[in-house]
Amino acid sequence: MKKIAVFTSGGDAPGMNACIRAVVRTAIFRGIEVYGITYGYDGMIDGNIKRMQSHSVSNIIQRGGTILKSARSESFRTKEGRQKAYDQLKSFGIEGIVAIGGDGTFTGAKVFFEEFGIPTIGCPGTIDNDIYGTDYTIGFDTAVNTALEAIDKIRDTAAAHDRIFFIEVMGRDSGYIAVECGIGGGAEFVMVPETETDLKKVVKSLKNLRKSKSSSIIVVAEGDEEGNAELIMEKVKTKVNDEDKEFKVTTLGHIQRGGNPTARDRVLASRCGMAAVEGLINGESNCMAGVVNGDVVYTTFEDCISKTKALKGDHLKLIEILSI
Amino acid sequence: MKKIAVFTSGGDAPGMNACIRAVVRTAIFRGIEVYGITYGYDGMIDGNIKRMQSHSVSNIIQRGGTILKSARSESFRTKEGRQKAYDQLKSFGIEGIVAIGGDGTFTGAKVFFEEFGIPTIGCPGTIDNDIYGTDYTIGFDTAVNTALEAIDKIRDTAAAHDRIFFIEVMGRDSGYIAVECGIGGGAEFVMVPETETDLKKVVKSLKNLRKSKSSSIIVVAEGDEEGNAELIMEKVKTKVNDEDKEFKVTTLGHIQRGGNPTARDRVLASRCGMAAVEGLINGESNCMAGVVNGDVVYTTFEDCISKTKALKGDHLKLIEILSI
Amino acid sequence: MKKIAVFTSGGDAPGMNACIRAVVRTAIFRGIEVYGITYGYDGMIDGNIKRMQSHSVSNIIQRGGTILKSARSESFRTKEGRQKAYDQLKSFGIEGIVAIGGDGTFTGAKVFFEEFGIPTIGCPGTIDNDIYGTDYTIGFDTAVNTALEAIDKIRDTAAAHDRIFFIEVMGRDSGYIAVECGIGGGAEFVMVPETETDLKKVVKSLKNLRKSKSSSIIVVAEGDEEGNAELIMEKVKTKVNDEDKEFKVTTLGHIQRGGNPTARDRVLASRCGMAAVEGLINGESNCMAGVVNGDVVYTTFEDCISKTKALKGDHLKLIEILSI
Amino acid sequence: MKKIAVFTSGGDAPGMNACIRAVVRTAIFRGIEVYGITYGYDGMIDGNIKRMQSHSVSNIIQRGGTILKSARSESFRTKEGRQKAYDQLKSFGIEGIVAIGGDGTFTGAKVFFEEFGIPTIGCPGTIDNDIYGTDYTIGFDTAVNTALEAIDKIRDTAAAHDRIFFIEVMGRDSGYIAVECGIGGGAEFVMVPETETDLKKVVKSLKNLRKSKSSSIIVVAEGDEEGNAELIMEKVKTKVNDEDKEFKVTTLGHIQRGGNPTARDRVLASRCGMAAVEGLINGESNCMAGVVNGDVVYTTFEDCISKTKALKGDHLKLIEILSI
């Protein structure tokens, strides 16, 4: 293997830069030329491909976002688009690919590999932690800590005014962020898509709070089946029906995607990036490099995409017990 | 003066605890007994009044929120309510009051003083910085830095995807937070209630951005006359009318009220708290202790409430020049 | 089991409060009375033992330090001291103990259990991560992130002046903190007690840096066999012998012990605390509740104390490759 | 004026990048070509001078350090060196200079202007806040907040173990950082070069602490006349002479120079940078652009260098009162 390329795709996640750095430097260390593709699959199609050196990735390990930019590509969903992408890669002599992203990224990579056969390894870059084949995804730990810091701040003001706060965190199909920052933030309730949300229980509990004299934090994953935080707050408020209680909603939004990555995310990103390049050298392909139980593991794209990672059951129990 | 009381009222602000601490310890240092009233004017009416010692305020200088809780009071707007409050204070022998809060708090304090004559001094505790008689209010610096950190994070993800972000910050009648975090965050535009917002200019500028290849940050004070960030984004999006451009909105919300106060807020809060007590001892009353041009100044409640503090003209110019 | 007690001992670690909270609330949830012992084993001997309620642990999950205080006890090393401790516990009717701390804490707990037979479970609270029986210790993740933020700041100034910085982090017998913040901080070298430090290699590499025109970060665990950061810097400086190069040392010190715990530490602390109480109820004793490969595991104190947890071999390799 | 140059010199300070950005963009906005000189006066002599565009300063406002690097120059102290520097500037056609730095930088700039007459304006970039002609220097607010966060963390661990901590902060000739983070951190004592340090009082106070049962924080400016924190701790420890008390020292060191600048520093840096360019256009020279009482003011280099800015007297009083 003489030349490889790396790109980021899908929603950006803190730690993607640390992963790019690891890919670039491991490749150079192993005597492989490395190219960066900007704007994901669109950039592949358009030939936005440039040689990277060791210094190209200096001073980026601590930065959020991605120096290779990211995008979601419509063209790559077509055979024609993928053919163009292949032609571009061929013209550069690319013999291996590292794809940093989530489920959508890997789905594209799998199709592309099966059609054109360029060896490809993925790295799990998404804040949602919803990818099978790795205990944690790159960006998850940072997103949770960002959400947690926000909850800590909101608790200050909730406590000062005895308010009931519904805080919406990211997670369309996954409650991982909600659960971890709910435990860490000492939330009274956490509502996630994986389990049925029992609003009656919440209403009953809030009614029992001493008259307008105590604050509560309720963390809602954006994909909860009862609706977003605003909707859920309205339902609960109507049923609690107590003028002395103040209900507030905060939607944390895109701050969860940015920020300097935590130590955990930088280390994970570095390990996955190195493992992706080592994997390509050792003949692995059509799979993702993740970390399971502390060790690097390669899992087929097929499994990453089709299998789901369950929430830890004891985590929801933890919240119930610790919020008494 | 042998006994004084302190309370917080209105929206909470980081640094209120540092201010309470300064009031309590300065009083004790000067040989005065000091009482804390919880829940603002409501607590005064209900007699939620307790003796405080030096250790009552240990380890709170770094905490957001207010240990004395805060509330907005309907009862205190009535003569009857204020009479009850006066009776409570009398029964404790309170001879002086320190009121930490904003315009609403001072309006209540002024009426109360004029009716019952208990010497009262205010401390400017509000994140909005919209109070005449002090260069900065307690909590403003922390709120700006919290908003700025959020903008830094959002810039990471905006840049990764070349998105246009409208970020709503607090400020119903005042653009202070928006302007300072707009300058500090390198925003392309800042929209504030004090000046007419020129959406045409914004639209024109965004149209000129290279096709879907560059990010922009627009900071909107919640009280802008064109509407909140969501509304303004929709107006702009419709007029830009470019499918390749992605528009996003983030409303920072209540995280701006919480968090550990910055150094500046802790120092300001400490100075104002001490000055309030020293002022009471020296016969000042019906006024606020603020810091103007580096020195403690007492300004009548009348002036604090009726006069307005203008935005620095050169600050808006700064944003125009520096965002080129 | 009707009454249990909890205490913290040894060096404090961020997350200890979250662990205390979990112990207290799980106990109450299970119908058990719970007591807090202040100042560790000394407090046990002196009878500093108080009933705790659910609200005793409100609003502490986010705080560094330990509300139960910590101390190292000389008296508890004597049979006489331990007899007194036992008598105190008996007088309160304590039937189970949760001990939060590190190796030294568990050694004491083991001896005490073997002598007096009160069921005892430990929780791994130490920033050093040097305890067998848990993948991570409570406080480690926070300490690493604190050290990493410091390294990020120092890199700013190192880069501005092209300086060579030796940064000393905690770890008398263990290089865990050094390795993780070395990887995360993009350090050029990491020196740890577990492996032989090759100063010649460092000297050679620094000589090759372009003349006074490039910065380097070297992370040193305080227990490295070549000495502390100051000593190592002097050795290296003498051998590099280049006037144009500026060498600086920063010893991070006790800031690594404090600060709000990270999400990871709060979740780990909560799980271990809950598991300790559940373990006592289920008849476990003389062991520690840790988390291995994502699941709660009980490991005998014997094993925790006598076995050592090796550094991941690929981590040091990672630094070598990624710093090129 | 058609062409100007900008450089940073002396110790780096957070906000220097924001200042460079403001200089570059204001110049371009005013139709002036702008050049960046790397490595301060050395770079001027060596001709390390490059044209800068608007995008050269994109995405740097939030970064610590300085993209133009900094250095202290021996050569510039010689007439020969300055002649070379002048020749270099002439060859580029530079007609005006913005010098970002502290006293040493301005001393060099003054001599150079008096010899060669190229109009020069300074911006106050130093964490020490020891420059006459501006209420605050660029970098001071960030340094204070960094030191304060460290003190907050150390207080956690100090309280857990009832320890007495001596914390050394930067400030060779100036106690500004020590005083502000002392007030903000709730320190029991602050020792600064501007006032005589009364160790007897400290010893007496520490002796009165309940036997080994209470923590204290003492902030020491590195330039205190009694020595550095280590020395002072030893003196105090010897005189307190109490085995039950634990004394610890932490020297914060270079972390105070780095880090993302605070809002205040970014705004100040932006205003000074813009004012420097506007000043050059308006014929100002041989002076510094600072902010006094909220407004931009130009002060002659002569005054900046020769006059001193006194500590606020009431600040030291504040610490005495609030630490009771």
For C117, counting Cβ atoms within 10 Å of its Cβ (0-12 exposed, 13-18 middle, 19+ buried), the class is: exposed
With cut-offs at 50, 70 and 90, classify the pLDDT of residue A310. Answer: confident
ipTM for this model: 0.96
Question: So what's the architecture of B141-257 in CATH?
Answer: 3-Layer(aba) Sandwich (3.40)
**Nearest-angstrom CA–CA distance, A50 and A310:** 39
Q: Which helix (H) or strand (E) holds C110?
A: helix C103-116
Note the pLDDT tens digit of each residue in B96-148: 999 999 999 999 999 999 999 999 999 999 999 999 999 999 999 999 999 99
Location of each CATH 3.40.50.460 domain in chain D: 144-257
**Nearest-angstrom CA–CA distance, D166 and D251:** 8
Q: What is the pLDDT of residue B316?
A: 83
Option in B162, B248, B258 nearest A254 (CB) = B248
Using CB atoms, list chains with 3+ pairs below 8 Å to chain B. A, D
Could you tell me the mean pLDDT of each successive run of 10 residues in chain C, 324 residues long? 97 97 97 98 97 94 96 94 98 98 97 98 97 97 98 94 96 95 95 93 86 81 96 96 91 96 98 98 98 97 95 84 83
Q: How many beta-carbon pairs below 8 A join chains B and D?
A: 115
The verdict on a CB contact (< 8 Å) between D183 and B54 is no
Q: Is C213 annotated as a binding residue?
A: yes
Flag whether pLDDT at A277 surpasses 80: yes
D281 has a chain B CB within 8 A of its CB:
no
Q: Evaluate whether C194 touches C175 at the Cβ level (below 8 Å).
A: yes
DSSP helix/strand/coil, C224: coil
Q: Find residues 219-258 of chain A whose CB sits inside 8 Å of chain B.
A: 248-255, 257-258
**Nearest-angstrom CA–CA distance, C51 and C3:** 10
Q: Find residues 44-103 of chain B whose CB sits inside 8 Å of chain D.
A: 54, 59, 61-62
Mean pLDDT value of segment D91-96:
98
DSSP helix/strand/coil, A191: strand
Location of each CATH 3.40.50.460 domain in chain A: 143-257
Give the residues across from D250 on adjacent strands.
Answer: D167
Q: Is C317 annotated as a binding residue?
A: no
User: Chain C partners of A162 at a C-beta cutoff of 8 Å?
Assistant: none
The verdict on a CB contact (< 8 Å) between C321 and A264 is no
The verdict on a CB contact (< 8 Å) between D264 and B267 is no
Flag whether pLDDT at B239 surpasses 80: yes
Share of chain D above pLDDT 70, in %: 99
Average pLDDT, chain B: 95
DSSP helix/strand/coil, A181: helix
User: Chain C partners of A323 at a C-beta cutoff of 8 Å?
Assistant: 25
Burial profile C183-201: b = 16 or more Cβ within 10 angstroms, e = fewer: bbbbbbbbbbbbeebeeee
* Cα-only R_g, chain C: 22
Half-sphere exposure of A174 (CA within 13 A, CB side): 21
Kindly identify which residue of chain A lies nearest to residue C178, measuring between CA atoms.
Answer: A263
Mean pLDDT value of segment D192-208:
92
Q: What is the pLDDT of residue B112?
A: 98
D29 has a chain B CB within 8 A of its CB:
yes
Q: What is the pLDDT of residue D213?
A: 58
**Nearest-angstrom CA–CA distance, D146 and B263:** 9
Q: Find residues 255-274 of chain D whose CB sits inside 8 Å of chain C.
A: 255, 257-259
Q: Is C284 annotated as a binding residue?
A: no
Mutant choice from B264, B278, B295, B311 vs D, greatest count of D C-beta within 10 A: B264
Q: Which helix (H) or strand (E) holds C161?
A: helix C140-161
**Nearest-angstrom CA–CA distance, B174 and B136:** 13
Q: What is the pLDDT of residue A214?
A: 78
Using CB atoms, list chains with 3+ pairs below 8 Å to chain A. B, C
**Nearest-angstrom CA–CA distance, C71 and C92:** 22
Mean pLDDT value of segment D194-211:
87
Flag whether pLDDT at B81 surpasses 80: yes
DSSP helix/strand/coil, C1: coil
Q: What is the DSSP letter of C195?
A: S
With cut-offs at 50, 70 and 90, classify the pLDDT of residue D240. Answer: very high
**Nearest-angstrom CA–CA distance, A58 and A55:** 5
Q: How many CB atoms lie within 10 A of CB A244?
A: 9
Q: What is the pLDDT of residue D110?
A: 98
**Which is nearest to C104 in space by CA: C88, C126, C121?**
C126
Burial profile C306-318: b = 16 or more Cβ within 10 angstroms, e = fewer: eeebebbeebbeb
With cut-offs at 50, 70 and 90, classify the pLDDT of residue B82. Answer: very high
What is the 3-state secondary structure of A133-179? CCCCCECHHHHHHHHHHHHHHHHHHHHHHCEEEEEEECCCCCCHHHH
**Nearest-angstrom CA–CA distance, D103 and D125:** 9
Q: What is the pLDDT of residue A313?
A: 74
Give φ, ψ of B49 to 5 degrees. -130, 125
Give φ, ψ of B27 to 5 degrees. -60, -50
**Nearest-angstrom CA–CA distance, C119 and C4:** 9
Tokens of C231: 């000593």
Q: Evaluate whether C180 touches A267 at the Cβ level (below 8 Å).
A: yes
Flag whether pLDDT at B16 surpasses 70: yes
Sign of the CA dihedral with D20 first, then D24, D29, and D30 last: positive
Q: What is the pLDDT of residue C314?
A: 81
Location of each CATH 3.40.50.450 domain in chain A: 3-139+261-306
Average pLDDT, chain D: 95
**Nearest-angstrom CA–CA distance, A147 and A219:** 10
Flag whether pLDDT at D14 surpasses 70: yes
**Nearest-angstrom CA–CA distance, C225 and C223:** 6
Kindly identify which residue of chain D lies nearest to residue B153, measuring between CA atoms.
Answer: D62
The verdict on a CB contact (< 8 Å) between A155 and C62 is yes
With cut-offs at 50, 70 and 90, classify the pLDDT of residue D313. Answer: confident
Q: Is C235 annotated as a binding residue?
A: no
- Report the Cα–Cα distance between both ends of chain C, in Å, rounded: 58
Q: What is the pLDDT of residue B211?
A: 58
Note the pLDDT tens digit of each residue in A202-258: 999 898 876 555 789 999 999 999 999 999 999 999 999 988 889 999 999 999 999
Question: So what's the architecture of C143-257 in CATH?
Answer: 3-Layer(aba) Sandwich (3.40)
CATH topology of domain D144-257: Rossmann fold (3.40.50)
Flag whether pLDDT at B210 surpasses 80: no
Catalytic residue among B12, B42, B46, B128: B128
List binding-site positions of A for ATP. Answer: 11, 72-73, 102-105
With cut-offs at 50, 70 and 90, classify the pLDDT of residue D94. Answer: very high
Q: Which CATH class is domain D3-139+261-306?
A: alpha beta
Flag whether pLDDT at D310 surpasses 80: yes
Give φ, ψ of D54 to 5 degrees. -55, -45
Q: What is the pLDDT of residue C92?
A: 98
Angle between helices D199-208 and D229-240 (to 10 degrees): 50
The verdict on a CB contact (< 8 Å) between C257 and D65 is no
